[in-house]
Every structure is written in C-alpha cells, then in structure tokens.
Structure 1
C-alpha cells in the first residue's frame, strides 16, 4: 500500500498492543509533532489507526508566584511586620509597618488589598491593627505556593491543593493552569495487516510553489490532503479595555452635549489642587495620609503671583462683606508642594483662572476624563488610582435644577434613569450634593459622584464673575452600574479577571 512518508513512519512506529502518545511517535520518527498529528488523522480516516483523546491540566508557578514561595505572600509579610510593631495591642502607623515589612511597589497594594480580606487585621485612617488570633501557617494560598514550588508542569490530579485555592492563585497571577490535549494512537487490525503486507512511500506535495506552476510539474504530482481538523495555535488578539471603551463613550456623550475637553498635569502644586478650591491648609484631606507627595522635585517653581495673593486673602479674610475666611494658617511654601492630584478639579482651577488657555468667556462647558490618585483603603468600590469624570458649566443664573437636569440627561445616555441626590458639604461648593445610583445586581445604592455650585470664595480669586456648576463623577462606578460588576478590582489592577474582560459584551 502506498502512503505518504509521514504516514508510513507513524504506522511503522505505532503499536497494536498499546497506545502511543503523539509526542512519543514524534520522537520515534524524528518528525515534528504537528506533522505526526496530521498523519494520524489521515490514517484514522483510512481505518489504519484508532485515536483516543484526553485533556490534561497542569500547573506551574509564575515568576511572581516563585518570588512569593521564597519570600512569603505580601499580606503575610505585612502581618508579621504588624505583630513586630505591636499592632496586635494598639494600632500602628501603616507607613511604619509597610517600611518594616520590606514590601515595595505593587507588593504594597497587593498586601493591603488582601490583609483584611484574609482576616489578618484591619486598616483604617492610615493605621493598621493585627488580629493576634490570625495564623499565617494556616494560609491556604501560602501553603499551596510551598506545595507547588519547584514542580513545573505538574498534573493537577497529583497536586495536593483544593480547587478553590488553586483558582484564587490563578486569579492573582501566581499560578498558570495549562490545558493540553493528549492524543494516543493504536494500530487497528487493518493497520497491522497493511504493515505486514508491506508499505511503499508515495511522493506527495504539500504546497503549490511558483516553480511547480511555471514548470508545469503540478499536473503530474500528487498533492497531500489538507487536514482541517489538525490543531492550530490559539491566538488571542488585543482589544481596547472595557474601562477605556467606557471612557471614550463618556467623552463622546459630553462632546455631544456641547462640552470641550480639558488637559493638564497629573502631578501638580497643592495650590491648584486644593488652595484654589478654598480648601483650608489644615483640612484632614491635605495630610500625607490622604495624598501622594513627590520626593523629587518637592515644589513647583512658579505660580501666578497675583492669583496667589488673592487666594491667600480669601483663605485668611474671606470674600465679600460677609466673608470671614478660615482664620487658619496659610503658607505659600505648603501651597507650592507637589503631589499627585487627588481630583481633576485642579484642571478646572487652571482653566477657570485663565492660566491654561487664556480667559474663558461665559457661557462655557468643559470636561475631562482623567486619572486621579488617593491614599484610600482598597475595597470593592475604592482604589488608590481611578478615573474621574470632571465637568463644569459657566453661565449666568445657574441653579441646582440646571445641575440635576444635566446629570439626568448624561446618565440617561447610559441607560441609567434612577439617579438620586443627597445634600452634602464641600468646602468649595454651596449648595452641594452627592449622586447615587442603584446597583443592577445587588439593588444597593452606590455613590457615583459629588457636585455643587462653586462658592464665591473660590470663584472671586480666579476672576470669575458668574455662576459655575461643577461635578466629579466616578468612571468605574458608572461601569459598575452599566455591567453589574460588584468588585471594582475585577476590571483592572492586580486582581483583574482577564477572561471576564474578554467575554463581557460592550454595551452603549
């Protein structure tokens, strides 16, 4: 019987008494595994072999997992440092404990996000407590890493780790689970007969080349059959992140409502971030616990001199006949200190003052969808960095009714029509109110933004003589209401679920 050379090699190497894996046949025939796989399928069609398939799952630690297997999980190291600092008796400074733990970079965020979740203690207002009854030796993830260390590509059925723990390690990117299709081949009786009777190698051509066409040889050669069932490499293409898609949609909506986009620095002076907002310099939100200051450089070089004087006067004395100011310390050196912006209202103060693009005449509408940074405690609705939808409208005789109507129109574009409002206090707006939306899965009210009419004490130093209504909305919270996400960490960050992002249908 005449067969292509690859098929002859497989028939000669296969056994009728026991199955042989494709990889073993490839090694025996000195052929690539994909060539053997194609030959096996063709032989199966001719009834010469039987092919059995199974799916094997194997696990291996990632580089990050190997690091934690050697050094310990970040949350365990944080707990051990907290115990050393006496946090099991009295709350300890979070910064001091982190420094003592030796954690750096992203490991700090990972430790903080898992510390309370695993019951090691609590984090509140920059202080950390340790539960004396917590037992790191019973940490299932830590024990699993120790079990998996040095066992690359180990079959899951022989690993002494439960499925829930393994799934948690995989979501954290510490373990890779690989599925491999294993094909095993055995000769049929017909295959044995054909091999016994003798095999001849037939010459086949697998590709049409220019030489075959120009020479005319293509008319005389035998072409190999194309096997459409052969394995092909799985390629997952890149795509725009669902959060970025939503941000782009928000921009489209606001531009359609007549707004222009603002741009500005992520690192800015406290002057633009807080002082221009009539935020007193002794406000708790301006301490190092709630902001990320810069080590180098520490201060901005230039600020508009006249504006600095007007802002300082507003803080010290107030604005207008009835203004009193704060009667609290105000220091220009503190105002020049650089930090990562805690809100994009720093862009609004730059634009309203005329420093960014020149004087703006009313009526005017501006917005930004940019990242902000806050030293918050990580939980399902808070991150250390997130996107804020900043916006403001400058016009005569604006009212709360105008502001509420703007929100109702904006959120309706995303299918959200049950917005609720709650009175609130801000140092820079009066009146002020927070916005809430109903979570589509839990039914709970979720805070989605803050807003109000800018106070005269803020606008007068900036040189604005008419009303300005403004807001800061959370992009990630909007995403939660649109798609039903319950944990913001599922969509970005170290615990991001890539499969969820690949499979979530984008809706507008």
Structure 2
C-alpha cells in the first residue's frame, strides 16, 4: 500500500490502543498541525483511523481585567471613596467622591454604570449615597477576577465561578473565552494489518511550480489531494457598526425626503447651544451638573454682536407687544462659555441665523445625525453621549399636522407605523410634543423624540420671519424599535456585545 509521507507518519505515530491528539502527533513527527489534520482526514476516508472530536473552552483575563484584578473594580473604588466621604450617612458631592477615588476617563463611566446596579448606593442630581450594608469584599465579579488572575489561561470547566458572573465579566470586556477543537485519532484494525504488511511512501506534489510546467514533469507526478474540510484559522475582519449603518440609512431617508445635511462643532458656546433657543440662563439644564464645560479654552472669542444684543433683548424683554421675556439674569460672559453640545439644535441656530452658510430662504429643509453629550444617569435607555437626529423645516403656515405627517412618513421607512404623540413643554417651541413608539419585545411605550414649532422669541432674534417646525430624535431608540434591543449598552459603549454587533445586519 502506498500513502503520502504525512499519512505514513501519522500511522506510525498513532496507536490502536489509545487515542492520540493531533497536536501530539504533530509534535512527535515535526509536522505542522494543519498538515497532520489534513492527513488524518484523508486516512479516515481510507478507513485507516477513527477520529473523535471535542471542543475545549478556556478563559483568560483581558489586559483591562488584569488591571482591575490588581487595582480593584472602578465601582468598588467609587464605593470605598463614597464611604470615606461620609456618603453612608448623607449624600456627598459626586465630583468630590470621584476625585477622591482616583478614577479618570472611561473608569468614571464604568464605575457610574455599575454602582447602582450592584447595590452600592444611588446617584442623583450630582450627589452620591453609599449603602452602609453593602459588602464590596463579597463582590462576585471582583472575586472572580482574583481567582482568574493567577493563570494565563484556565479551562472553563475547572473554574469555580458561577456562569452568570463569567458572562457579566465577558460583557464588560474583562475576560475572553476561546474555543478549540481537539481531535484524537485511533488506528483501525485495517491500519494495523496494513502496517504489518508494510506501507510504502508515495511521492506526491502539493504545489504546481513554474519548473514543473516548463519541464513537462507535471504530467508524470502525483498531486496531493486538497481537503477542503480541514481546519483553517478564522479571522474576524472589521465592519461598520450597526449604529453607524442605521445613521447612514437615516441620512439617505432624509435626503430622499428633500433635506440637506448640517454640520458644525461638537464644542460650542452656550450662546448657540441654549441662549439662541430662548433657554433662560438660570434653567436647571444649564447648571454645571448637567453640562460638560471645557477647562481650556473656557470661552469663545467671536460672537455676532447684533445677534447677541437681539437674543439678550428677547430674554430680558420678550418679543412683540405682548412679549415679557424671563426677567431673569442674562450674562454675556456665561453665553460665551464653551461646552460639549447637549443637543444638535446648536447647529439649527447657527444655520437659521445665517452665520453658518449665509441667509436661507424658505422653503428649506435641513437635518443632522451627530453625537451629543449629556450628564445623564446611565440606564438601559440613557448614555452620557448618544446620536441625535436633528431636523427642521422652514416654510409659511406650518402646523402640527405638517409635523406629525413628516414623522409618520419618516418612521414608515423603517417599518414603524404606530407612533404616538404626547403634549409637552419646551422653552423654545410652542406647541410642543414628545414622540413614542412601541418596543417590539416588551410592548412598552418608548420615548423616541421631542418636537414642536419654534417660538417667535427664538426665531425673531435669528432674523427668521416665517414658521419653522423642528425635532430632535434619538438614533439609538430608533435602533431599539427596529431590532428589539432592551438595553442601549448592548450595542453602544464599553459593555456592548461584540458577537451581536458582528452578526446583526441593518436591512433596507
């Protein structure tokens, strides 16, 4: 019997009495594991070996997991700092506690997102409390990290940690699971018989070379067969995030409805973000707890003088004969303060005023799909940064019916036809209403946006003398209605499910 050299090597190394792994055969024969695997499958087809397969799962900590195993989880550091600050007795200022914890950057967000979830206390309106009965020493995730920290890789079935704890650490990106298929071979009776009779090594060629072709030897040699079922290393290539895919689809939809796209700075003056929207400067949403101010630079240099004067007059005195304004403090220095925009309506004020691209004549339609930043409490439907679908239409004699019809047409493009509307109050629109959609999994109504007709007190200083209807919609909430996600963090942020992101396709 003639066999290829690699097949002969496998037969001479394997045993009929006990199973031998492919890796063990490769080590004994100095052949690459993939070569041995191919030879094993070929021998199985000839009835010379039997193959048994099993899948082994191993667990190892990521670099971030190793760091937290050494330095403690961010939420534990935050809790201990809160206890030291007396938050177990009365609420403490969150900024002071965060500073005392030594947390920075992403560590702060991670601590805040897990603090209340684990029962360490509560966070509300810039204050933090600590539950005196919480026991950070019994934190299951922290203890699991300590258990896994001593070994580079650990067999999953040998880890004394609850499965849901491991799942939580994996979602947080603190551990990785890897699976490997282990194949073991055993010689059959026929193989033993052939070995006893003697097996010759056949010369085979695995690759066509220029020399074989030019010499004509290709017609005389025996080519090795390719086994397309042999294992190959899997590579996960990069792909566009489903949130970005949805954003692009929203843009295409709005362009198809006749809208033009706006663009502008993520960091802007409070003047454009709030003052131009007829938002009083003492409004709770404009406190330092609800906005992300810049440390350097702190203020914008250039603002249009006449527009600043007109906006200030609207705030102090109102607009028109019946306008009264707010009779509240208005400070130009505060208006010049820089912050991360809390909504993309700052783009709308720039465009409507003519400062961005020049004067715009009605009728006109503009939109943007860009990121905004708010100091919200993290939960399944809120993040510190998210995407907002901003839009407005400038035309004569617009009504709420026009606005509702626009929404119904827009959401119908995404298969959502059960939009509900609820009256609402905004300082810059009248009338105003919120939009709600039904979550496909839970059946609950989910708020998906805010809208209204811009007030005269906002439009007059900007130089606009016709109606403008506008809205701000949540891109992530749209994605939740389309695909049934119940937690925004499943697709966005440090806890997102990478497998879900790889497998979910945004369809048109």
TM-score, length basis structure 1:
0.98
For the pair 1:445 / 2:445, whether they are aligned, the reply is yes
> Who is 2:89 aligned against?
89
> Who is 2:382 aligned against?
382
> Who is 1:185 aligned against?
185
Q: Give SS of 2:122's match.
A: strand
> Who is 1:396 aligned against?
396
Structure 1: any 5+ residue segments left out of the alignment? none
> Who is 1:198 aligned against?
198
> Who is 1:141 aligned against?
141
Aligned counterparts of 1:420 and 1:200: Cα–Cα separation in 2 = 79
> Who is 1:285 aligned against?
285
> Who is 1:212 aligned against?
212
For the pair 1:61 / 2:61, whether they are aligned, the reply is yes
> Who is 2:229 aligned against?
229
Structure 2: any 5+ residue segments left out of the alignment? none
1:138-175 Cα deviation digits (max 9, x unpaired): 21111111111121221111110111111111111111
Q: Find runs of 4+ consecutive structure 1 residues off by over 4 angstroms.
A: none
Matches within 5 A, 1:83-482: 83-482=83-482
1:359-400 Cα deviation digits (max 9, x unpaired): 001111111111100000000000000011111111111111
Q: Could you tell me how far 1:47 is from its partner in structure 2? A: 2.3
Q: What root-mean-square deviation, in Å, do the aligned CA atoms of Structure 1 and Structure 2 show?
A: 1.3
Aligned counterparts of 1:61 and 1:475: Cα–Cα separation in 2 = 33
1:24-53 Cα deviation digits (max 9, x unpaired): 111111111111111111122222222211
Q: Give SS of 1:243's match.
A: helix
Q: Could you tell me how far 1:481 is from its partner in structure 2? A: 1.1
Aligned counterparts of 2:332 and 2:498: Cα–Cα separation in 1 = 46
Q: Could you tell me how far 1:441 is from its partner in structure 2? A: 1.3
What count of residue pairs does the alignment treat as equivalent? 508
Say whether the 8 Å CA contact 2:365–2:392 is kept in structure 1.
yes
Say whether the 8 Å CA contact 2:20–2:186 is kept in structure 1.
yes
Aligned counterparts of 2:409 and 2:42: Cα–Cα separation in 1 = 63
Q: Could you tell me how far 1:478 is from its partner in structure 2? A: 1.0
Q: Give SS of 1:130's match.
A: coil
Say whether the 8 Å CA contact 2:16–2:188 is kept in structure 1.
yes
1:226-249 Cα deviation digits (max 9, x unpaired): 112210122233332211121111
Q: Could you tell me how far 1:505 is from its partner in structure 2? A: 4.1
Aligned counterparts of 2:467 and 2:105: Cα–Cα separation in 1 = 43
Bigger mean CA offset, 244-253 vs 383-392: 244-253
Aligned counterparts of 1:88 and 1:190: Cα–Cα separation in 2 = 76
Say whether the 8 Å CA contact 2:242–2:505 is kept in structure 1.
no
Q: Give SS of 1:196's match.
A: helix
Aligned counterparts of 2:195 and 2:104: Cα–Cα separation in 1 = 65
TM-score, length basis structure 2:
0.98
Aligned counterparts of 1:135 and 1:469: Cα–Cα separation in 2 = 52
